[in-house]
């Protein structure tokens, strides 16, 4: 069973990845040991591919640094499920191909020990047996996701033009 | 139905007659800003740059400011790689160590003009909204893509209208205004929204810059002011020739998701307590809290008027022993003017320490990093846990007046209780 990492409201980018490492760590290998360092020191060593991260409102507020999104994607987080997201983080996640689900009901329904399962194609998330649907993403964003992130998407476009 | 600032400018920049909130549009920004993160950005596209080259040479503005001069060998290597990129690809607007904090440099070099769309790989890019720019922060991957393609996607935001009335009382500043707005709206109160400030004729450009700078602290995508005679005067003063530059502003019957009013004369000095910017209280509530370090400056409050205000309070006085006062001018131009005006001398005489222009302690990388258990009172824009280096330190945010008054006592103090705001 995949593990669920649950946090509160207003989890900011410094809690997700301390600003003091912004210029020394930019690759996945450098980012991973410091991921959520000041929020949850057990996260970096405990996280496994397929885990979920649940959070309250305004997840990812603060700086424009992309290490949180890049790091969570590289750690294999299946999806972040939050009540809402801060906008720069939302874009960063789209650009990295990290799945963000905005579903306050699912977050509220979660109790310690509940299993979380995702059916991305059907747009549903199941929390402890209760199923919630989340809205599908706009086409422009899906196209970026399908290409594997913004850079691969742009490269394909540039090659198409050339 | 009228249109908001955001609807008008994003229609213009996406080449459409009209756009509606929620639509995703492809835009070609006028400028792209990046700073010490430039090396990490271009590293993502090293091979693509060789293959395709940059889309536009005049778009990318690069400013070295975050860890300047280099604090470690690693920073030095980073700066070196950035200089090589700038050379190799002929980046026209490059500002090396010491010119200033990127956002101030954008504004004072005339690289952020009314009616433009600017993106930057830094969250406080929203500051140029003070000059009627739609300016917003993006991440490094998006910046890298922009270098190659010259275009990106934006979701047209809804807008919040904030009406200001009256003027600020003595000892109360634009920083107190924006803290009161963030305190009322909350850290996500303007998430995905463009915040329009109306009724701001009484605010100087410096004051508008402070307010717009902190738009992101309530989640705003952009925070904008109307272009008026003060804006034009400012642009003239920095020698901007505005041929063909057309400001944009909202129609009076535009549609808003929310409207709020703020009565400036009723505001007093405010403080944001650790560890969120919306944790705002009146200065009275935290008066007397001992402070180890005071920071005066950054892109939020590091302009000449900020130093002059602080100097008017600290002139002829001494900061408390056991307290340090760090001075961090937002640019070399500002520093030169604040030296010429005597403000810097007054602050140094009072016991201040002058840091090189740049970001310094603001992001906890060097120069004024805090120890565990220490408390800092800063004019910067973020008090997040760990922001200034140590997660066990506390950061309080306030205006330059409150920071100056507090430096004298070594404790959080109400600037209105001390000269020049009250008789000595
Ligand atoms: S001064 Fe602080 S807030 Fe401003 S750009 Fe530098 S690090 Fe960011």
Find, in chain B, the residue whose alpha carbon is nearest to that of A18: B386
Chain A hits for B138, CB-CB cut-off 8 Å, are 64, 88, 91
Tell which one of B35, B175, B213, B298 to mutate to probe ligand 1, the residue whose CB is within 8 A of the most ligand atoms: B298
Please determine, for residue B107, whether its predicted confidence score (pLDDT) is greater than 70.
yes
Could you read off the pLDDT of B301-355 as tens digits, one per residue? Answer: 999 999 999 999 999 999 999 999 999 999 999 999 999 999 999 999 999 999 9
More confident residue, A137 or B126: B126
d(CA B89, CA B85): 6
Q: Do B141 and A64 touch (CB under 8 A)?
A: no
Q: In the predicted model, what is the mean pLDDT of residues B70-95?
A: 96
Listed by start position, the domains of chain A span 4-158
> A119: distance to nearest CA of chain B, Å?
25
Q: Which of B25, B51, B126, B141 to mutate to test the interface with A (most CBs of A within 10 A)?
A: B141
Q: Sorting pLDDT into bands at 50, 70 and 90, what band is B20?
A: very high
Tell me whether B77 touches chain A (CB under 8 Å).
no
d(CA B284, CA B315): 24
Tell me whether B394 touches chain A (CB under 8 Å).
no
Gap from CA of B160 to ligand 1 centroid (Å)? 25
Q: Is B161 in the pocket of ligand 1 (CB under 6 A)?
A: no
Burial per residue of B31-47, b for 16 or more beta-carbon CB atoms within 10 angstroms, e otherwise:
bbbbbbbbbbbbebbee
Please name the residues between 219 and 258 in chain B that touch chain A, using a CB distance below 8 Å: 219, 221
- The pLDDT score that the predictor gives to residue B274 is 97
Q: Is B380 in the pocket of ligand 1 (CB under 6 A)?
A: yes
Strand partners, B272: B280, B397
Tell which one of B381, B383, B386 to mutate to probe ligand 1, the residue whose CB is within 8 A of the most ligand atoms: B381
Gap from CA of A21 to ligand 1 centroid (Å)? 15
Of A63, A150, A157, the CB nearest to B142: A150
Chain B hits for A56, CB-CB cut-off 8 Å, are none
Tell me whether B24 touches chain A (CB under 8 Å).
yes
Question: Residues with Cβ < 8 Å from B214, sequence gap 6 or more?
Answer: B178, B179, B182, B223, B277, B300, B381
Find, in chain A, the residue whose alpha carbon is nearest to that of B67: A23
Q: Is B101 in the pocket of ligand 1 (CB under 6 A)?
A: yes
Q: In the predicted model, what is the mean pLDDT of residues B408-422?
A: 96
d(CA B275, CA B390): 12
- The pLDDT score that the predictor gives to residue B245 is 84
- The pLDDT score that the predictor gives to residue B424 is 66
How much is the mean pLDDT over chain B?
Answer: 96
Tell me whether B182 touches chain A (CB under 8 Å).
no
Q: Is B363 in the pocket of ligand 1 (CB under 6 A)?
A: yes
B215 vs B15, B189, B209, B255, CA distance in Å? Answer: 27, 10, 10, 20
B276, A10 Cβ separation under 8 angstroms: yes
Q: How far apart are the first and last CA of chain A?
A: 47
Q: Is B299 in the pocket of ligand 1 (CB under 6 A)?
A: yes
Please determine, for residue A141, whether its predicted confidence score (pLDDT) is greater than 90.
no
B132, B226 Cβ separation under 8 angstroms: yes
More confident residue, B69 or A139: B69
Q: Rounded to 5 degrees, what are φ and ψ at A4?
A: -115, 125
**Does the predicted TM-score (pTM) go above 0.90?**
yes
Tell me whether B387 touches chain A (CB under 8 Å).
yes
Residue B2 DSSP label: B
DSSP secondary structure letters along B130-192? GGT-EEEE--HHHHHHHHHHS-EEEEPPPEEEEEEES-PPTT--HHHHHHHHHHHH-TTTTTT
Gap from CA of B300 to ligand 1 centroid (Å)? 8
- The pLDDT score that the predictor gives to residue A87 is 84
Question: β-pairing, B152-155 with B24-27?
Answer: antiparallel
Chain B hits for A61, CB-CB cut-off 8 Å, are 187-188, 219
Q: Do A95 and B391 touch (CB under 8 A)?
A: no
Please determine, for residue A162, whether its predicted confidence score (pLDDT) is greater than 80.
no
Of A61, A92, A155, the CB nearest to B187: A61
Q: In the predicted model, what is the mean pLDDT of residues A11-35?
A: 90
Question: β-pairing, B159-165 with B352-354?
Answer: unpaired
Residue B347 DSSP label: H
Find, in chain A, the residue whose alpha carbon is nearest to that of B153: A140
Gap from CA of B87 to ligand 1 centroid (Å)? 25
**What's the 3-state SS for B55-119?**
CCCCCEEEECCCCCCCCCHHHHHHHHHHHHHHHHCCCCEEECCCCECHHHHHHHCCCCCCCCEEE
Please determine, for residue B242, whether its predicted confidence score (pLDDT) is greater than 90.
no
Interface size A-B, in CB pairs within 8 Å, comes to: 130
* The two three-digit tokens of residue B283, written as one number: 């200065």
A91, B142 Cβ separation under 8 angstroms: yes
Angle at alpha carbon of residue A88, lines to A85 and A91, rounded to 5°: 85
- The pLDDT score that the predictor gives to residue B79 is 97
B85 vs B74, B80, B88, CA distance in Å? Answer: 17, 9, 5
* The two three-digit tokens of residue B324, written as one number: 């340090």
Gap from CA of B213 to ligand 1 centroid (Å)? 10
Q: Which of B125, B158, B188, B193 to mutate to test the interface with A (most CBs of A within 10 A)?
A: B188
Task: Give the number of the atom of ligand 1 that is nearest the alpha carbon of residue B381.
Answer: 3
Chain A hits for B45, CB-CB cut-off 8 Å, are 151
Task: Give the number of the atom of ligand 1 that is nearest the alpha carbon of residue B362.
Answer: 2
* The two three-digit tokens of residue B6, written as one number: 């955001």
d(CA B274, CA B375): 10
Please determine, for residue A62, whether its predicted confidence score (pLDDT) is greater than 90.
no
d(CA B381, CA B342): 26
Please determine, for residue B290, whether its predicted confidence score (pLDDT) is greater than 80.
yes
Q: Is B281 helix (H, G, I), strand (E, B) or coil?
A: strand
CATH 3.20.19.10 fits A4-158, yes or no: yes
- The pLDDT score that the predictor gives to residue A140 is 83
Tokens 């760090």 map to which residue? B326
Please name the residues between 95 and 154 in chain B that touch chain A, using a CB distance below 8 Å: 120-123, 125, 137-142, 144-145, 148-149, 153
């Amino acid at each position: 069973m995949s593990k669920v990492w649950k946090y509160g409201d207003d989890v900011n980018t410094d809690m997700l990845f301390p600003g003091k490492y912004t210029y020394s760590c930019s690759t996945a290998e450098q980012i991973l040991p410091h991921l959520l360092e000041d929020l949850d020191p057990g996260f970096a060593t405990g996280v496994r591919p397929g885990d979920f991260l649940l959070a309250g409102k305004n997840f990812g507020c603060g700086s424009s640094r992309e290490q949180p999104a890049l790091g969570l994607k590289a750690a294999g987080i299946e999806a972040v499920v939050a009540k809402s997201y801060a906008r720069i983080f939302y874009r960063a996640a789209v650009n990295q191909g990290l799945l963000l689900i905005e579903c306050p009901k699912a977050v509220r329904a979660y109790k310690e020990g509940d299993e979380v399962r995702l059916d991305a194609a059907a747009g549903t998330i199941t929390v402890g047996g209760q199923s919630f649907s989340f809205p599908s993403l706009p086409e422009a964003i899906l196209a970026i996701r399908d290409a594997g992130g913004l850079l691969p998407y742009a490269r394909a476009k540039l090659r198409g033009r050339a | 139905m009228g249109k908001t600032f955001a609807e008008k400018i994003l229609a213009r920049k996406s080449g459409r007659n009209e756009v509606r909130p929620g639509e995703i549009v492809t835009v070609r920004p006028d400028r792209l800003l990046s700073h010490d993160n430039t090396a990490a950005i271009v590293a993502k596209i090293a091979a693509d740059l060789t293959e395709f080259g940059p889309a536009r040479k005049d778009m990318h503005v690069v400013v070295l400011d975050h860890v300047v001069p280099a604090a470690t060998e690693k920073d030095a290597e980073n700066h070196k790689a950035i200089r090589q990129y700038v050379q190799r690809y002929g980046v026209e607007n490059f500002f090396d160590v010491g010119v200033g904090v990127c956002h101030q440099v954008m504004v004072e070099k005339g690289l952020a003009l009314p009616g433009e769309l600017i993106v930057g790989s830094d969250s406080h890019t929203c500051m140029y909204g003070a000059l009627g720019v739609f300016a917003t922060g993006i991440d490094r991957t998006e910046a890298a893509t922009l270098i190659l393609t010259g275009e990106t996607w934006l979701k047209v935001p809804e807008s919040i209208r904030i009406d200001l009335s009256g003027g600020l009382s003595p000892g109360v500043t634009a920083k107190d205004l924006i803290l009161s707005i963030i305190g009322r709206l909350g850290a996500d109160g303007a998430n995905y929204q463009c915040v329009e400030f109306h009724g701001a004729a009484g605010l100087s450009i410096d004051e508008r810059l402070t307010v717009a700078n902190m738009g992101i602290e309530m989640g705003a995508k952009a925070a904008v002011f109307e272009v008026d005679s003060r804006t034009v005067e400012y642009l003239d003063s920095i020698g901007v020739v505005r041929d063909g530059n057309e400001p944009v502003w909202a129609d009076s019957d535009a549609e808003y998701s929310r409207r709020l009013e703020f009565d400036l004369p009723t505001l007093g000095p405010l403080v944001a307590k650790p560890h969120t910017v919306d944790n705002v209280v009146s200065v009275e509530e935290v008066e007397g809290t001992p402070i180890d370090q005071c920071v005066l400056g950054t892109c939020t409050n590091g302009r000449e008027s900020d130093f002059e205000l602080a100097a008017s309070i600290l002139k002829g006085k001494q900061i408390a022993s056991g307290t340090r006062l760090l001075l961090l001018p937002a640019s070399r131009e500002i520093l030169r003017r604040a030296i010429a005006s005597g403000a810097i001398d007054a602050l140094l005489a009072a016991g201040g320490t002058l840091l090189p222009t740049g970001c310094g302690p603001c992001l906890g990388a060097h120069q004024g990093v805090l120890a565990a258990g220490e408390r800092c009172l800063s004019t910067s824009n973020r008090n997040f846990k760990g922001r200034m280096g140590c997660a066990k330190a506390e950061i309080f945010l306030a205006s330059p007046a409150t920071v100056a008054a507090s430096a004298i006592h070594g404790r959080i103090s109400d600037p209105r209780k001390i000269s020049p705001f009250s008789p000595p």
